[in-house]
């Protein structure tokens, strides 16, 4: 792996004897400075001890989430990296890039295990539940259609010949902008540029369910811990909660700005939203310090109950730690911030 650095920020501040009981000072976020360009995605592994970050530079970083120390880098991409995923037991890492490739890495050594070349940029990628099958979607660009490709990693001939066992074409007018595996690896759930959601069978490739609840592009999809629900983030200024099996729309979280990312808490009925203006509009607004906020909503009541400031540009990706005691956000400013919740968060009771 690449050079180890001591990029960690301040460790969470402890409670002092002088603090009133149950009222610790707000804990300082840990700042991860490992990218030169804006963050595109951040992802915890299943245990949550590692945090993977990718950005519009060719670097793939992995960090210890507990203290923000950089464990290393996966080097090989030659363009912006759009997506990253780790498998169930954190043996392998998958990345997709604008250099027209999807790459498989050995998590521990940083060695590149497979290079899958594509005709256009790889926008989304993911391991299925067992870690044996990968899927990735490519952009519609340079005359090429948008496709979702499926590879079985147990069959080396698929990798060697660069031939997926299944390739699903998307409808011509709307490329896939976000995709995740559904429950039990039976399907993938894909969000499109026009706001549509499709559920594709991982066996036959057919569209099992199609819904259109968003009016504009879906930027991000993240499932709940038990995979029964998922939350979408859209350019239409909303995030929405859906049932993973039926794609039935259940809740809506409204903001005044495009939502770039949304994540569900594994322990509470909370959802965190990250967003902001389009990157090109950012300079035309006020320069109040770090005014780009992560916003917390109650899942059932759809009401906002908290905000966390800090980023100097729109937040592009948010993720809850699998234990629910911290969350991270990655921004257009190129920084990743790990926020540990203070005790008030755990005592908080929502009053409807």
pLDDT (tens digit per residue) in 140-197: 877 788 889 999 999 999 999 999 999 998 876 788 999 999 998 999 999 999 999 9
Which residues make beta-bridge pairs with 133? 152
Listing DSSP states for 271-316 in one string gives EEEEE-S-GGGGGGS---TT-EEEEEEETTT--EEEEEEEESS-EE
The band of 349, judged by pLDDT with boundaries at 50, 70 and 90, is confident
Q: How many other C-beta atoms are found inside a 10 Å radius of the C-beta of residue 70? A: 22
pLDDT surpasses 90 at 217: yes
pLDDT surpasses 50 at 18: no
Residues shown for the chain: 352
Listed range (22-31, 53-62, 262-271, 321-330) with the worst mean pLDDT: 22-31
Q: What percent of the chain has pLDDT over 70?
A: 88
What's the confidence (pLDDT) of residue 339?
96
pLDDT surpasses 80 at 12: no
Q: In degrees rounded to 5, what are phi and psi of residue 279?
A: -55, -35
What's the rounded mean pLDDT across residues 202-207?
Answer: 92
CA atoms of 155 and 313, how far apart (whole Å): 43
Q: Please, what is the average pLDDT of the chain?
A: 88
Which residues make beta-bridge pairs with 60? 54, 74
pLDDT surpasses 70 at 106: yes
Burial level of 255, CB count in 10 A (0-12/13-18/19+)?
Answer: middle
Alpha helices in 207-320 (DSSP H): none
Q: Which residue has the higher pLDDT, 1 or 264?
A: 264
Hey, what domains does the chain have and what are their CATH numbers?
30-264 (2.130.10.10)
What's the confidence (pLDDT) of residue 292?
84
Predicted model pTM: 0.89
């Amino acid at each position: 792996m690449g050079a180890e650095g001591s990029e960690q920020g301040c460790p969470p501040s402890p409670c002092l004897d002088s603090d009133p009981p149950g009222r610790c000072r707000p804990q300082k976020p840990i700042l991860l400075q490992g990218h030169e360009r804006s963050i595109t995605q951040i992802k915890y592994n299943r245990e949550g001890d590692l945090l993977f970050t990718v950005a519009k530079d060719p670097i793939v970083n992995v960090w210890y989430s507990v203290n923000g120390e950089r464990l290393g880098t996966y080097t090989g991409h030659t363009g912006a990296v759009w997506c990253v995923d780790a498998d169930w037991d954190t043996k392998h890492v998958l990345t997709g890039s604008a250099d027209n490739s999807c790459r498989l890495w050995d998590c521990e050594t940083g060695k590149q295990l497979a290079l899958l070349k594509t005709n256009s940029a790889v926008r989304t990628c993911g391991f299925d539940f067992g870690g044996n099958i990968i899927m990735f979607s490519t952009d519609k660009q340079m005359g090429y259609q948008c496709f979702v490709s499926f590879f079985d990693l147990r069959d080396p001939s698929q990798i060697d010949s660069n031939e997926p066992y299944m390739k699903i074409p998307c409808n011509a007018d709307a490329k896939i902008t976000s995709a995740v595996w559904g429950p039990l690896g039976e399907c993938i759930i894909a969000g499109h540029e026009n706001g549509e959601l499709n559920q594709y069978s991982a066996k036959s490739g057919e569209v099992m369910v199609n819904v259109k609840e968003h009016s504009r592009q879906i930027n991000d999809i993240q499932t709940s811990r038990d995979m029964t629900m998922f939350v979408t983030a859209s350019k239409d200024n909303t995030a929405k909660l859906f049932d993973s099996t039926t794609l039935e729309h259940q809740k809506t979280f409204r903001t005044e700005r495009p939502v770039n990312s949304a994540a569900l808490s594994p322990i509470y009925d909370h959802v965190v939203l990250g967003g902001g203006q389009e990157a090109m509009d950012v300079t035309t607004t006020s320069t109040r310090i770090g005014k780009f906020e992560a916003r917390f909503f109650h899942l059932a009541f759809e009401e906002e109950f908290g905000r966390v400031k800090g980023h100097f540009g729109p937040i592009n990706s948010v993720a809850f730690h699998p234990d629910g005691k911290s969350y991270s956000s990655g921004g257009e400013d190129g920084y990743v911030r790990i926020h540990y919740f203070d005790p008030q968060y755990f005592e908080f009771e929502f009053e409807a």
